[in-house]
Amino acid sequence: MLIAGNWKMNTDAAAAAQLAQDVCATVRTDAGVAVAVCPPFVHLTGVGSVLQGTPVRLGAQNMHAAGSGAYTGEVSAPMLVSVGCHYVILGHSERRQFFGEADDSVNAKVRQALSHGLTPIVCVGETLHERKADRAYAVVEKQVSVALRGVDASAPLVVAYEPVWAIGTGETATPAQAQSMHAYIRALLAKQFGKAAAADITILYGGSMKPANAADLVGQPDVDGGLIGGASLNARSFAAIVRAAQQAA
């Protein structure tokens, strides 16, 4: 299990360091559940130094597919590694929606991240329009298959199912809806990597996960944790979600 906090474009330097301290003080970690926080790029170093010597891992929210070069404003995988990142979120729906990120670009980033020893958290999920049109499974199938093209079975990989209609809206997929899509994703992974490897891939749910609904979601057989946005900005809420995951693990 993994519980990862996606802080998005929130916190200034002082607030980020404080939140990281609060997370370390509040969250009880154990072997069954890994915990990570993904602050904005400019706070990675500051938050990383707060996390030093704790079991809480550091992640970034995006990266460029190239290792270095003339890409003004961008950040590379080696840079993330050099400040102590373990994870990188790739293909988040907000990147797809507001920054035109397409599946091919997600794939290039996934391969680049893996080649530098980062564990990608690959986000997939349908919009409300797509769900209503009965296309949720087809959309997710395409996102998963393109994003993971050329990736091999031994790669450390996290997939996050985040129905776009549930992100930051207070709407959550029901545990049954989440389980159904997670089982589908697991079957897609089994087709590509084999059953045993697919069973070992962490599949997170994301979209308005909070203390009140976390236990039901992480209690589903194919839900291996959560990618938490809003509720990760409060250390107590985040810790409560981690506890729910520990009870389910």
Question: 2 in helix, strand or coil?
Answer: strand
Q: Is there a contact between 29 and 35 (Cβ–Cβ < 8 Å)?
A: yes
Phi, psi angle pair for 29, to nearest 5°: -95, 150
Q: Which residues pair with 226 in a beta bridge?
A: 3, 205
The reply on whether position 218 binds ligand PGA by CB under 6 A is no
Q: How big, in percent rounded to 5, are the helix, strand and coil portions of the chain?
A: 50, 15, 35
Q: Which residues pair with 87 in a beta bridge?
A: 59, 119
* Residue 125 found at the interface with ligand PGA (CB under 6 A): no
Residues identified as active-site: 92, 162
Indicate which single residue of 19, 106, 227, 239 sits in contact with ligand PGA (rule: CB under 6 A).
227
50 binds ligand PGA per the rule CB under 6 A: no
Give 60 or 193: the residue with its C-beta nearer to ligand PGA. 60
Q: Does 206 bind ligand PGA (CB under 6 A)?
A: yes
Q: Under the criterion CB under 6 A, does residue 213 sit at the interface with ligand PGA?
A: no
Q: How far apart are CA 153 and CA 197, in angstroms?
A: 6
Site string for ligand PGA, 151-170 (x = CB under 6 A): -----------x----xx--
Residue type, 179: Q
Q: Does 207 bind ligand PGA (CB under 6 A)?
A: yes
Minimum gap (Å) between residue 70 Cβ and ligand PGA? 30
User: Residues in the site for ligand PGA, rule: CB under 6 A?
Assistant: 6, 162, 167-168, 206-209, 227-231
